Amino acid sequence: MSQDIVADALNQIMNSKRIGKTETEIKMISKVLINILKMMKEKKHIDFKIGEDKKSVIVKMIKMNMCKAVKPRYYATVDEIEKYMRRFLPSRNFGSLIISTNKGLMAHESAVEQNLGGAVIAYFY
């Protein structure tokens, strides 16, 4: 385990998917990770439940193809978001970039709509 909770959690989800599991338990959580999981749940890629001890989360994969953290974090203006969409997502209307803006975490569609730039944190499709 490294110091990046988001990257570790997304790698753990992908490793579980690769070996055929449909459910995995993530031991280290943070508010940023919970917000990312909420965004993935809204798009109906996963379902998750926070453990009773509030220190773990159980993630159930529904239709997840790929989810990864972006390392190093790239800072993108509104005009540059399109470049990162082409770099990380497989096609135009497929998948989401997660961008950390001064208004909080949001999908790239919302960031462009609100004319906000920020750090590219992760992507999923």
What's the mean pLDDT in 95-109?
Answer: 95
Q: What CATH number should be reported for the domain holding residue 42?
A: 3.30.1370.30
Q: Is the same domain home to 45 and 85?
A: no
Count of structural domains within the chain = 2
pTM for the full predicted model: 0.91
Beta strands 104-107 and 46-50: pairing type?
unpaired
Greater pLDDT, 51 or 37: 37
Q: Is the same domain home to 86 and 116?
A: yes
Whole-number pLDDT of residue 53 = 86
Q: pLDDT grade, residue 2 (50/70/90)?
A: confident
C-alpha closest to that of 69 among 97, 94, 47: 97
Range of the domain at 118: 67-124
